[in-house]
């Protein structure tokens, strides 16, 4: 079945869509599976596998599972609610299952970190519920496949067997198909994406969804400039830089201020994400600063940018993001950082080109250029925290997106590499990258010892 791409952008919780938001949603899905058996549950056990285990604490995976099991929803999260659940579990050893049924919870016994990797995917987790006589009530294995998307073991097997059917809806499987449709009906990518989404939702809903996403993106930027705590959580004791960057911005005399601004937008949002706050996955949390940084840049420097342009920007970006998600990966654990920051930069490049007047072909050229210059980028966050190199990497992804859009808009010759080809190349490169450099915190910068 063809499916809506709106959830390429989701309101989520930092610092990682695959390691925080995905496990939280998996825990919520498990509650749903348990249904009325919630009230018979005496004990819950969660096993985190592979990358979820190796970098789980740094990415707050353990806490995310508890938030999900407690019935919290990402859009309604607040610092207070998050902290209440953590205090209840860690200090009082209790969990309010689904927010209504209290059980005993022992962090050391009921949550296991296994170094084993499940064969289906790097980010696996098993949830089990037991009754009063310690009999198994319910069990399910989930995989967090990137961008906050989750699949059960059965769904992973269905996909591997190729049972997904795209025949009964209007589907757009890749760039080539998109360009053919655009050419036939003289559409740009935003118009094509809107037409695609209209088979799932009416236009008022799409407009409202995009407006809310844009609103949360802007809030994340403003919150990042005025944080409660000037230090980010975690072992690196990293000081936030966005607030002080704003103070030293010199708009009048410095010809490079635009670059500083774009970096500021991206880093303020990436720092919010690193603090575990509410952001928009775009398409992942690690890369959540790239798309909004380019949008904020256009809002501040392009006078034609308005609510409609913002919607068209997001529609274009989500269509490009769907090609990465469906034909390659948007998960750092599967493809390295090229799959996260690279995909975000590619999405933003096509979207910027589109709202600046590019036809579908030129917009795809912009997306191709942006990804081409992220190929091979590894994921090696220091101490497993989405901080170094992730925060600055958002700034680079945004600046590269703008460069790619501008190069594509000015190009007078035909490119030799297509977007479909570069997406496939990214995927194959990701497969070849050693697992040490795919969100395991076992190689690259993650091997450095940065003790204070």
| Chain residue whose CB lies nearest ligand SF4 | 286
| Binding status of residue 381 toward ligand SF4 by CB under 6 A | yes
| Binding status of residue 68 toward ligand SF4 by CB under 6 A | no
Interface pattern 275-314 for ligand SF4 (x via CB under 6 A): -----------xx---------------------------
Taking the C-alpha atoms of residue 350 and residue 373, their distance in angstroms, rounded to an integer, is: 14
Instruction: Measure CA 389 to chain center.
Output: 16
196 vs 265 by CB, closer to ligand SF4? 265
Structure tokens that stand for 390 in this block: 């992730």
| Binding status of residue 390 toward ligand SF4 by CB under 6 A | yes
| Binding status of residue 439 toward ligand SF4 by CB under 6 A | yes
| Binding status of residue 337 toward ligand SF4 by CB under 6 A | yes
Q: Of 133-141, 143-151, 247-255, 333-341, which part binds ligand SF4 (CB under 6 A)?
A: 333-341
Residue 390 Cβ, how far from ligand SF4 at the closest point, in Å? 3
Q: Footprint of ligand SF4 on residues 340-379 (CB under 6 A)?
A: 340-341, 379
Site size toward ligand SF4 (CB under 6 A) is: 13
Interacting residue with ligand SF4 among 24, 294, 318, 386 (CB under 6 A) = 386
DSSP notation for 252-266: TT-TTHHHHHHHHHH
| Binding status of residue 332 toward ligand SF4 by CB under 6 A | yes
DSSP notation for 377-415: --B--GGG-S-TTHHHHHHHHHHHHHHHHHHHHH--S--
Yes or no: say if 441 and 54 are a contact pair by the CB < 8 Å rule: yes
Residue written as tokens 């799409």?
Answer: 206
Q: How many CA atoms lie within 13 A of 359 on its CB side?
A: 11
| Binding status of residue 43 toward ligand SF4 by CB under 6 A | no
What's 438's DSSP letter? B
Residue 335 Cβ, how far from ligand SF4 at the closest point, in Å? 9
Nearest to 305 by CA among 188, 214, 197: 214
Taking the C-alpha atoms of residue 130 and residue 153, their distance in angstroms, rounded to an integer, is: 20
Taking the C-alpha atoms of residue 13 and residue 67, their distance in angstroms, rounded to an integer, is: 11
Residues near ligand SF4 (CB under 6 A) = 286-287, 332, 337, 340-341, 379, 381, 386, 389-390, 393, 439
């Amino acid at each position: 079945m063809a499916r809506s791409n709106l959830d390429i952008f989701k309101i989520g919780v930092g610092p990682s869509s695959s390691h925080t938001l995905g496990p939280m949603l998996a825990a919520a899905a498990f509650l749903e599976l348990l249904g009325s058996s919630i009230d018979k549950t005496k004990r819950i056990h969660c096993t985190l596998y592979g990358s979820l285990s190796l970098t789980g604490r740094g990415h707050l995976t353990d806490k995310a599972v508890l938030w999900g099991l407690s019935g919290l929803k990402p859009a309604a999260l607040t610092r207070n609610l998050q902290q209440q659940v953590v205090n209840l579990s860690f200090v009082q050893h209790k969990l309010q299952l689904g927010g209504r049924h209290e059980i005993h919870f022992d962090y050391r016994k009921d949550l296991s970190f296994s170094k084993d990797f499940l064969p289906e995917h790097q980010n696996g987790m098993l949830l089990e519920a037991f009754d009063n006589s310690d009999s198994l009530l319910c069990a399910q294995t989930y995989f967090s496949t990137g961008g906050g998307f989750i699949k059960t073991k059965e769904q992973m097997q269905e996909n591997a067997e190729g049972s997904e059917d795209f025949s009964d809806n209007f589907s757009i499987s890749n760039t080539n198909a998109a360009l053919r449709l655009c050419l036939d009906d003289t559409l740009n990518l935003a118009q094509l994406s809107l037409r695609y989404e209209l088979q799932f939702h009416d236009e008022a809903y799409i407009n409202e969804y995009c407006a809310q996403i844009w609103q949360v993106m802007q809030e994340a930027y403003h919150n990042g400039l005025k944080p409660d705590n000037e230090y980010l959580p975690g072992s690196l004791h990293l000081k936030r830089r966005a607030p002080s960057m704003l103070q030293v911005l010199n708009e009048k005399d410095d010809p490079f201020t635009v670059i500083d601004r774009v970096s500021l937008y991206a880093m303020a949002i990436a720092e919010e994400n690193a603090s575990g706050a509410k952001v928009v996955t775009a398409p992942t949390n690690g890369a959540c600063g790239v798309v909004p940084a380019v949008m904020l840049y256009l809002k501040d420097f392009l006078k034609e940018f308005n609510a409609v342009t913002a919607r068209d920007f997001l529609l274009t970006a989500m269509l490009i993001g769907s090609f990465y998600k469906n034909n390659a990966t948007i998960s750092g654990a599967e493809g390295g950082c090229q799959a996260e920051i690279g995909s975000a930069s590619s999405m933003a490049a096509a979207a910027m080109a589109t709202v600046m007047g590019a036809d579908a072909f030129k917009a795809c050229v912009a997306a191709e250029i942006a990804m081409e210059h992220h190929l091979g980028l590894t994921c090696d966050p220091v101490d497993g925290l989405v901080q170094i190199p992730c925060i600055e990497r958002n700034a680079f992804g945004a600046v590269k997106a703008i460069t790619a859009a501008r190069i594509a808009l000015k190009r007078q010759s035909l490119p030799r590499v297509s977007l479909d080809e570069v997406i496939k190349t990214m995927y194959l490169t990701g497969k070849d990258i050693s697992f040490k450099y795919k969100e395991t915190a076992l190689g690259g910068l993650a091997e450095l010892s940065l003790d204070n």
